[in-house]
Amino acid sequence: MALLVEKTTSGREYKVKDMSQADFGRLEIELAEVEMPGLMACRTEFGPSQPFKGAKITGSLHMTIQTAVLIETLTALGAEVRWCSCNIFSTQDHAAAAIARDSAAVFAWKGETLQEYWWCTERALDWGRGGGPDLIVDDGGDATLLIHEGVKAEEEFAKNGTIPDPTSTDNPEFQLVLTIIKESLKTDPLKYTKMKERLVGVSEETTTGVKRLYQMQANGTLLFPAINVNDSVTKSKFDNLYGCRHSLPDGLMRATDVMIAGKVAFIAGYGDVGKGCAAAMKQAGARVIVSEIDPICALQATMEGLQVLPLEDVVSDVDIFVTTTGNKDIIMVDHMRKMKNNAIVCNIGHFDNEIDMHGLETFPGVKRITIKPQTDRWVFPDTKSGIIVLAEGRLMNLGCATGHPSFVMSCSFTNQVIAQLELWNEKSSGKYEKKVYVLPKHLDEKVAALHLGKLGAKLTKLSKDQADYISIPVEGPYKPAHYRY
């Protein structure tokens, strides 16, 4: 795929797989809108006043149908938008086509190479002469990372002419980042510096990206304000939990058609994602074993009737392995060699380093048989026994299915819209420093409230007398900040 930017008749830039899928994408976007009441309510409430008038927003977030509804909510509120995906497999090509044709600049397709991925990220950040975006919607923090690394390199370059050396790292992905920056130094040695100066802030979608932000805050290296959307209750306790409860079995079924009932499923990690995955497997009739490092989460698992054991103890008994830890080196190639024939191995947590893909790919004599895209059987030479790896170790719900369903993404993305509005409205007030913030609870509660009507749920109203009795306002927020839901 030649990496050339294309343009619509209206002049909008894009690079997608197949523009002819735009009509199909539009139909699915229209279906999704009915399932995304929070976003549609934002259009109704804020659309008339065009609060994002003049704002340039770059997004780096799975380019799916649901994201399309997010993007068109941002544009409905007045923003100009450029978008890339944050995962090489997660783009839905028809969604990308519809948005590119109708609403925003998109650089994304399903099955990017890593090099293509970073090219797309760079394109999404490139607003031409005017510099970078005003706001970033980030997922996993790659757009934020690129700017931070760019600024660091530009400072070094300014100081002593140092140019980043891609061979200085073993990490092939980070080599690409350094290469991009190295190239941009040649054409514009202040590209990222100008970008960060313009930037009002970022709202970050996931645990992994949020962790990076808190580390930068702790190190004093964070370059602009950030809103941690991940830790809104209506995000982390909904999308992570209920989203994965839906999309893990979806991905398994689409990729392998395997019967889940009767099988033994191993879930590495029992955080929100692991809880959703374990619930899904248990409900589908599997026997579930969980691994945990955290004794509290482990004890929660036991209370649900799940067995808690380390991978080593059960690796030969399990049919379906799922990583949800957000950490690395969870399932190593040595584990894989001990697995049952045709055991399924997949990741729904984090990057592809939860599973030792590198160890697998480089195992002497290993044979890869692609059943269909994102479903590979890897056969070990000695045993002739194989395992089935989904989405090359990357997020299987996005690689093998269509990610989380619209309704739960509406919760997450309504938080994003509110966070972006907050950053933009307060851009000159000084309210937000170069720190990481969580949305206030009343906005979190508002996001939830916007989703109840669609499900026929009706709230009970607190009387003034009752509100006084428990010392909270009648209209909320109803819980203290530390409340765990």
Annotated binding residues for substrate, as ranges?
Answer: 64, 139, 205, 235, 239
Q: Is 459 in the site for a second copy (CB under 8 A)?
A: yes
What ranges make up the beta strands (E) of 47-144? 56-60, 80-84, 105-107, 135-138
Catalytically annotated residue among 60, 175, 240, 291? 240
Can 66 be counted among the known catalytic residues?
no
CB of 9 vs a second copy, minimal distance in Å: 25
Query: Could you tell me how many residues of this chain bind a second copy (CB under 8 A)?
Result: 114
Can 316 be counted among the known catalytic residues?
no
Q: Which two tokens stand for residue 361?
A: 């790919």
Cα separation, 177 vs 188, whole angstroms: 16
Each residue 414-443 as x (binds a second copy by CB under 8 A) or -, in order, gives ------------------------x-----
CB of 201 vs a second copy, minimal distance in Å: 20
Residue 212 has a CB neighbour count (10 Å cut-off) of 22
Cα separation, 245 vs 255, whole angstroms: 16
Give the binding range for a second copy (CB under 8 A) out of 51-59, 99-107, 185-193, 228-236. Answer: 228-236
Say what the alpha-carbon torsion angle 65, 70, 75, 80 is, to the nearest 10 degrees: -90
Residue 122 or 292 with smaller CB distance to a second copy: 292
203 contacts 420 by C-beta, under 8 angstroms: yes
Q: Figure out which of the listed residues 8, 221, 362, 466 binds a second copy, where binding follows CB under 8 A.
A: 466
Can 7 be counted among the known catalytic residues?
no
Can 230 be counted among the known catalytic residues?
yes
Catalytically annotated residue among 416, 422, 444, 451? 416
Residue 9 or 170 with smaller CB distance to a second copy: 170
Q: Is 167 in the site for a second copy (CB under 8 A)?
A: no
- Which element (helix H / strand E) includes 311? helix 311-314
Give the binding range for a second copy (CB under 8 A) out of 50-58, 111-119, 187-195, 247-255. Answer: 247-255
Catalytically annotated residue among 17, 235, 263, 446? 235
Cα separation, 391 vs 372, whole angstroms: 10
- Which element (helix H / strand E) includes 447? helix 441-452
Can 346 be counted among the known catalytic residues?
no
Residue 163 or 462 with smaller CB distance to a second copy: 462
Question: Which residues face 395 on adjacent strands?
Answer: 347
Cα separation, 274 vs 264, whole angstroms: 15
**What 3-state DSSP class applies to 277?**
helix
Which residue is associated with the tokens 């028809």? 94
**What 3-state DSSP class applies to 436?**
strand
Which residue is associated with the tokens 């709230």? 459
Scan residues 38-77 and list those touching a second copy (CB under 8 A). 65
Which candidate, 274, 243, 275, 278, places its Cα nearest to that of 260?
Answer: 278
- The C-alpha angle 210, 213, 214, rounded to 5 degrees, equals 90
Can 350 be counted among the known catalytic residues?
yes
User: Residues at the annotated binding site for NAD(+)?
Assistant: 206-208, 271-276, 292, 348-350, 397, 404
Can 93 be counted among the known catalytic residues?
no
Residue 135 or 233 with smaller CB distance to a second copy: 233
Q: Which two tokens stand for residue 39?
A: 């976003």
User: Residues at the annotated binding site?
Assistant: 64, 139, 205-208, 235, 239, 271-276, 292, 348-350, 397, 404
Helix%, strand%, coil% for the chain, nearest 5: 50, 15, 35
Scan residues 345-384 and list those touching a second copy (CB under 8 A). 369, 371-372, 377
243 contacts 272 by C-beta, under 8 angstroms: no
Catalytically annotated residue among 239, 250, 392, 444? 239
Q: Figure out which of the listed residues 58, 73, 184, 402 binds a second copy, where binding follows CB under 8 A.
A: 402
Q: Is 260 in the site for a second copy (CB under 8 A)?
A: yes
Q: Is 306 in the site for a second copy (CB under 8 A)?
A: yes
Q: Figure out which of the listed residues 288, 322, 395, 396 binds a second copy, where binding follows CB under 8 A.
A: 288
Give the binding range for a second copy (CB under 8 A) out of 77-85, 104-112, 184-192, 463-471. Answer: 463-471
Cα separation, 112 vs 163, whole angstroms: 27
Q: Is 305 in the site for a second copy (CB under 8 A)?
A: yes
Residue 194 or 211 with smaller CB distance to a second copy: 211
Q: Count the residues in the chain.
A: 485
Cα separation, 49 vs 47, whole angstroms: 6
Q: Figure out which of the listed residues 199, 366, 401, 423 binds a second copy, where binding follows CB under 8 A.
A: 401
Cα separation, 218 vs 309, whole angstroms: 34
Using a 10 angstrom Cβ sphere, with 0-12 exposed, 13-18 middle and 19 or more buried, the burial of residue 480 is exposed
Q: Figure out which of the listed residues 108, 147, 264, 443 binds a second copy, where binding follows CB under 8 A.
A: 264
Cα separation, 80 vs 104, whole angstroms: 7
Q: Figure out which of the listed residues 115, 179, 217, 327 binds a second copy, where binding follows CB under 8 A.
A: 327
CB of 131 vs a second copy, minimal distance in Å: 32
Which residue is associated with the tokens 């508002």? 446
Can 62 be counted among the known catalytic residues?
yes
Q: Figure out which of the listed residues 71, 95, 346, 388 binds a second copy, where binding follows CB under 8 A.
A: 388
φ/ψ bin of 111: left (φ > 0), alpha (ψ from -120 to 50), beta (otherwise) = left
Scan residues 168-197 and list those touching a second copy (CB under 8 A). none
Q: Is 97 in the site for a second copy (CB under 8 A)?
A: no
The residues annotated as belonging to the active site are 62, 85, 90, 139, 205, 230, 235, 239-240, 244, 350, 404, 412, 416
